[in-house]
Amino acid sequence: DAGVIQSPRHEVTEMGQEVTLRCKPISGHDYLFWYRQTMMRGLELLIYFNNNVPIDDSGMPEDRFSAKMPNASFSTLKIQPSEPRDSAVYFCASSFLAGGTSEQFFGPGTRLTVL
């Protein structure tokens, strides 16, 4: 069974450009999470969805960030306009609510560099 799929794997862009990151969760999973990892701040939650509905976006740093989940198999994280401080690895993870567990499975990540 395929794991979480993310694209692109690497993105290099210039300040001010729009960046769109994509994620396909594991089939059948009903939760989807977006995380960002930096050396300074570690792994931090940006937003998560349950059944395609955003549940908690308190980690989204500012209005430049937006996320959507139009269907159960696809989600996007958009940054517009991008800034150098957005440079990080962005991970998507998914989980399935079974027996009350919260085990999350991560995709390979997108390494974003904003020049």
Partner 1 sequence: QKEVEQNSGPLSVPEGAIASLNCTYSDRVSQSFFWYRQYSGKSPELIMSIYSNGDKEDGRFTAQLNKASQYVSLLIRDSQPSDSATYLCAVNESPGRRALTFGSGTRLQVQP
Which residues here bind partner 1, judged by CB under 8 A?
31, 33, 42-45, 48, 50, 55-56, 91, 95, 97, 100-109
Task: Answer whether the bond into residue 81 is a cis peptide, omega within 30°.
Answer: yes
Amino acid at 59: G
Q: How far is the CB of 16 from partner 1 (least distance, A)?
A: 28
Identify which of residues 42 and 70 has a Cβ nearer to partner 1 in the complex. 42
Beta bridge partners of residue 65, listed in sequence order:
79
Q: How far is the CB of 59 from partner 1 (least distance, A)?
A: 8
Shorter beta-carbon distance to partner 1: residue 45 or 72: 45
**Measured from the CB of residue 115, what is the shortest distance to partner 1 in angstroms?**
20
What tokens were used for 2? 């395929």
Residue count of the chain, please give it.
115
Taking the C-alpha atoms of residue 7 and residue 87, their distance in angstroms, rounded to an integer, is 16
